[in-house]
Amino acid sequence: MPRFIGKAVVVTGAGSGIGRELALAAAGRGMSVAVSDIQNGPLAETEAMLKDMGVATVAVCADVSRSGDVEWLAKNAWSELGPISIVFNNAGVGGKGGLLWEASPEDWEWTLGANLRGVVNGIRSFVPRMLSEAGSDDDFRGIVVNTASMAGLVNAPLMGAYNASKHAVVSISETLSHDLALVTDRVTCSVLCPAFVPTGIARSEGTRPAGFGNGDLSKAQALAQSLSDKAVAGGKVTAIQVAELTFNAIGRGDFYIFPHPAAVGSVRARNNDLLEGKGPSNPYAAKAGLIESLKGALAT
């Protein structure tokens, strides 16, 4: 607890789900909190919850895919709350899914914009400020936590754009950890890799900005949406639990944060495939009949 009390944190994608719970968990640990989201209504709800907890709060409506929005968030957070000790680059979308060749240029632009550029923009806006603070204050410690996914470590079918975006976030996080270690030991990085959590991510199509297209779903895209809805709704680890596990992990100094340890078996299988030069194992192979049912649904 002393590691967090009196410090300031920023959480993107804080209007709901894991982002909201990270913000509330930070407030519960005595931190001041800056929150952002692309949707004003949910963001205002989170802001009200934080103010009810009696913590200093800043709320900025921002599209993390836009560097100017994230820079504005950083300026406001720093000026209102002081040095930011923890940045949760958490905002993201589920993407449309479906067969990889069906994804439109707009599908790729939207998914990579939110999931990948959002993290890049957060790093570019906050890390230099953290490094400057660390250079002038010997007591300052900073942590950047990027939200990836187990989809950043394995590759399930019908999730191509999402998988690609989350693999990139894992890669960026590992690289950022190495890069920071070259210049300081006072700013570090962690990567959060949850599996399915019952949040609103399966409905994130509703946040797709105008101009990014959102036409009728193909058979495979509808199937992917149905699978995602079912998996998210059936998630056994809640967003509250993910937030608590995350704070416990960064308190220990963990780099990889796995709220679903049972899912690590799929990562181990993928790594074994790589080392043995085999083709990729399907992460759904252990689910009796699922692959065949997918084939059947796509063939009808």
In a domain, 194, yes or no: yes
Mean pLDDT of 56-73: 98
pLDDT on residue 108: 96
pLDDT band at 201 (very low <50, low <70, confident <90, very high): low
Alpha-carbon distance of 89 to 12, in angstroms, equals 6
pLDDT band at 226 (very low <50, low <70, confident <90, very high): confident
In a domain, 1, yes or no: no
* CATH number of the domain encompassing residue 239: 3.40.50.720
In a domain, 98, yes or no: yes
Mean pLDDT of 241-251: 97
pLDDT on residue 284: 86
What are the φ/ψ torsions at residue 256 (nearest 5 degrees)? -85, 130
Q: Report the sign of the C-alpha dihedral through residues 191, 196, 200, 205, in that order.
A: positive
What would the pLDDT profile of 139-162 be if each residue is shown by its tens digit?
999 999 999 999 999 999 999 999
39-43, 59-63, 197-201, range with the lowest pLDDT: 197-201
Q: Is 284 a catalytic residue?
A: no
In a domain, 271, yes or no: yes
Burial class (CB in 10 A: 0-12, 13-18, 19+), 239: buried
Q: Is the pLDDT of residue 227 over 90?
A: no
Query: One-letter amino acid identity for 208?
Result: R
Which residues face 52 on adjacent strands?
none
Q: Is the pLDDT of residue 1 over 80?
A: no
Catalytic-labelled residue, pool 78, 126, 140, 162: 162
137-151, 181-195, 218-232, range with the lowest pLDDT: 218-232
Mean pLDDT of 51-73: 98
Q: Is the pLDDT of residue 2 over 70?
A: no
Alpha-carbon distance of 126 to 114, in angstroms, equals 17
In a domain, 15, yes or no: yes
pLDDT band at 285 (very low <50, low <70, confident <90, very high): confident
Mean pLDDT of 56-72: 98
pLDDT band at 216 (very low <50, low <70, confident <90, very high): confident
In a domain, 2, yes or no: no
What would the pLDDT profile of 16-26 be if each residue is shown by its tens digit?
999 999 999 99
Alpha-carbon distance of 253 to 43, in angstroms, equals 29
- Show the domain range for 202: 8-299
Q: What is the domain count for the chain? A: 1
What would the pLDDT profile of 100-116 be if each residue is shown by its tens digit?
999 999 999 999 999 99
